[in-house]
Structure 1
Amino acid sequence: MTNRYLPTPVLHRVVEKDGLVFVGGTACDDTSLDIAGQTRQTIAKLETYLEAAGSDKSKLLFATIYLSDLSLKPGMSDVWAEWIPAESLPARATICPGDLGPGVLIEVTLIAYK
């Protein structure tokens, strides 16, 4: 089976394959925000991408969260916990690769099902 790419503006950001939805690295647009603000803005974009693929946050299987500094993890985790109820939490990895780009504090990739 071939991959199905969603149309612009999410082209190549979201790929569907065999009932799974893969969302590539997503970050906020406003890098002047603190970690809570950047996390909220990133989550809003992720919701749009999941919806475009016919999925939603209740169908998340795995998330990889990249932080520019691991000291930001508590602020990100507070917003993440507000977004996803405890009974729907996906498996998650939080890593610190270092520089995510000028002013970018968080980037997220997801795997969900339809």
Structure 2
Amino acid sequence: MTLVRHHTSERMSRTVIHNNTVYLCGQVAEDRNQGIAEQTRTMLAKVDALLAEVGSDRQHLLSATIYVKDMSLFAEMNQVWDAWVPAGHAPARACVEAAMASPELLVEISVIAAIPEA
């Protein structure tokens, strides 16, 4: 069994690869002082970058778990999400209201994706 870890610290790895599947740690916004739409955009840009780094992309998403600070922000977050997910490639998804690690964070995502064979 082979496990490959990227961007590893004492606490976590940003990505872990096993059997052509990549597991991303929770991703949050680049600028935590923005509203939910911009936080969602920059969070998803981080997902794009991490997936590209390991040879995958959003068309190969298997699962996404989204944590929203307040469900009153759900519809606005979904507008950004819906524009980001390629048509016909929506992953299995859960979205829950959750307390965040920092008070200014409004959204966080954890993603699992396939890595296509070359």
TM-score by length of 1: 0.92
The 10-residue stretch of structure 1 (25-34 or 95-104) with the greater mean CA deviation from structure 2: 95-104
User: Matches of 1:93 and 1:100 in 2, distance apart?
Assistant: 19
User: Unmatched 5+ residue regions in structure 1?
Assistant: none
User: Matches of 2:87 and 2:79 in 1, distance apart?
Assistant: 12
* C-alpha contact (below 8 Å) 1:60/1:112 kept by paired residues: yes
Q: CA deviation at 1:97?
A: 1.7
Instruction: Give the AA of the match of 1:36.
Output: A
Q: CA deviation at 1:15?
A: 0.5
Q: CA deviation at 1:34?
A: 0.5
The residue number in structure 1 matching 2:114 is 113
Percent of paired sites with the same residue: 38
For the residue of structure 2 that corresponds to 1:87, the secondary structure is coil
* C-alpha contact (below 8 Å) 2:15/2:50 kept by paired residues: yes
The residue number in structure 1 matching 2:3 is 3
User: Matches of 2:74 and 2:106 in 1, distance apart?
Assistant: 10
* C-alpha contact (below 8 Å) 1:6/1:53 kept by paired residues: no
The residue number in structure 1 matching 2:46 is 45
* C-alpha contact (below 8 Å) 1:6/1:52 kept by paired residues: no
Aligned residues: 113
Q: CA deviation at 1:91?
A: 0.8
The residue number in structure 2 matching 1:63 is 64
Instruction: Give the AA of the match of 1:33.
Output: Q
* C-alpha contact (below 8 Å) 2:7/2:14 kept by paired residues: no
User: Matches of 1:103 and 1:93 in 2, distance apart?
Assistant: 22
The residue number in structure 2 matching 1:101 is 102
Q: CA deviation at 1:102?
A: 2.4
Summarize the Cα distance change of 1:83–1:57 in structure 2 as closer, same or farther, 3 Å threshold. same
* C-alpha contact (below 8 Å) 2:3/2:18 kept by paired residues: yes
What RMSD, in angstroms, separates the aligned Cα atoms of the two structures?
A: 1.6
